[in-house]
Amino acid sequence: MKTQVAIIGGGPSGLLLAQLLHRRGIDSVVLERKTKDYVLGRIRAGVLEQGLVQLMQEAGCADRLHAEGLVHDGTLISYGDTMFRIDFTEHTGTPVIVYGQTEVTRDLYAAREQAGGATEFNVDNVVIRGADTDACHVTYTVHGQARRIDCDFVAGCDGFHGVSRQTIPLDVRCEYEKVYPFGWLGILSETPPVNHELIYANSPRGFALCSMRNDNLSRYYIQCSLSDKPDDWTDEAFWQELKRRIPADQAARLVTGPSIEKSIAPLRSFVTEPMRWGRLFLCGDAAHIVPPTGAKGLNTAASDVHYLYNGLRDFYENGSSAGIDSYSQKALARVWKAERFSWWFSSLMHRYPDQSEFDLKMQVADLEFLRTNMAAQKAMAENYIGLPY
C-alpha cells in the first residue's frame, strides 16, 4: 500500500489531521491499535479553544459542535466559600465551547467514513522504518497478517504509550517530566450541572472541578491519592466529598445521582524534544502531556495539527519545505506556554503533601490577587481561551 502521509493513531488529532489533508487532496492512511468503539468509549475533557473550533470548521466537521456545544464566556474559581468569575469575553472578546472530546472524535470518524478515507483498526506490531531516509515506510499486522505502507511522511498521533516517540533515537530525544503527587477521581452522571459555568475549587480538603457535557450530563472531579482506586469510592462518598470542597451555596444546589462512569487519572507534565525526526512528526500526547487543569491536552494537540497540516499543505501545493522544517520549533514554542499555564493553574488550585503553612498563605495570596487584579484576570483569560497559533 502507498500513501502520502501515514497517520499512527485514530484519536482526535490523527483524525483531524487526516480530514484536513483530505480536503486539500492529500492522501493518508490512519492506523489505530484499538477498535472504533473503544476509541469512542474513552471519556475525555470537553473544553475547546477557538483555534480547535476553527480547525473543525476548516475540516467541515463543526455543524454538530455549533448546534450542541455550550458557549462559555467565563469560568468560576473558588477558595473556601469565596467565589469569583474570570470573564473571558470581557478580557479577550473570545469564549470557549464545551463539547466533549468523544463527540469531536465521533464527528471526525463520520467525516472520515463519508470521505472514504482508509482507516485500519486492531493494528499490532507497528514499526516505523526509514524515517531518517528517503524510503520511509510503516510495517504492522492486522489479525496476524503482515502489512506495509510506503509513505512520504509519518504523523505520530498515537499517544504517550505509542511507538512514534520511541522511534526517535535516545541520543536525539530529550524528555522533560514532572509527576504530580495526586490524581483526579472523576465521575459522569446523568444530572444537570450545578452551575452553567465550570467551577474550579481550591479547598483545604483538596481540589474539585464541576464541569458538564450538556444540560443533563455532568462531569465532576475531586483530587485524590494516587493509591486510591475507583472502587474505593462509593457514589455517596464522592458526592459528600465534592460538597465539602465547593462553596456552600453551590453544594446546596448540587443534584446527585448514580455515576455512569468512574475513573482516576494521574497528573503529569511531559514534553519531548524535538517533535520531528526526519520524515516522522509527533503530534499531541505522543510529544507532550499536560495536567487536565485548564483543559489544554486536546487543544495543544490541535495546535500541533495546525502547524503540521499547514506545513504539509505548503510542501505538496507549493513545493516548499519551510513549514515542515519549522514544525518542531513552532509547535514546541506554543506547547511550553501551555505547559506553563497548566503547571501554574495546578499549583494554584491543588493541595500538595509537602506544603508548609507559608506555602498555603502564598496560595491564598495568589488567589486573592487573581480575584482583585484585572491584569491578572486578563492574563489567565488569554491563556485559558488559547494563545494564538
Residues assigned a catalytic role? 72, 200, 292, 296, 384
317 three-class SS: helix
Query: What are the Cα distances from residue 305, in Å, to 32, 192, 218, 311, 387?
Result: 17, 34, 29, 10, 15
How far apart are the C-alpha atoms of 236 and 246, rounded to whole Å?
A: 16
User: Locate cell 494521574: which residue?
Assistant: 266
Torsion angles phi and psi, residue 56, rounded to 5: -65, -35
Distance between CA atoms of residues 357 and 15, nearest Å:
47
346 with 291: CB under 8 angstroms?
yes
3-state secondary structure string across 94-161: CCEEECCHHHHHHHHHHHHHHHCCEEECCEEEEEEECCCCCCCEEEEEECCEEEEEEEEEEEECCCCC
Q: What's the count of helices (H) and strands (E) in the chain, helices before strands?
A: 14, 19
Angle, CA 101 vertex, CA 68 and CA 76 arms, to 5°: 75
3-state secondary structure of 376: helix
Radius of gyration, alpha carbons of the chain: 21
Helix (H, G, I), strand (E, B) or coil at 252: helix
**Neighbour tally for 248: CB within 10 Å:** 11
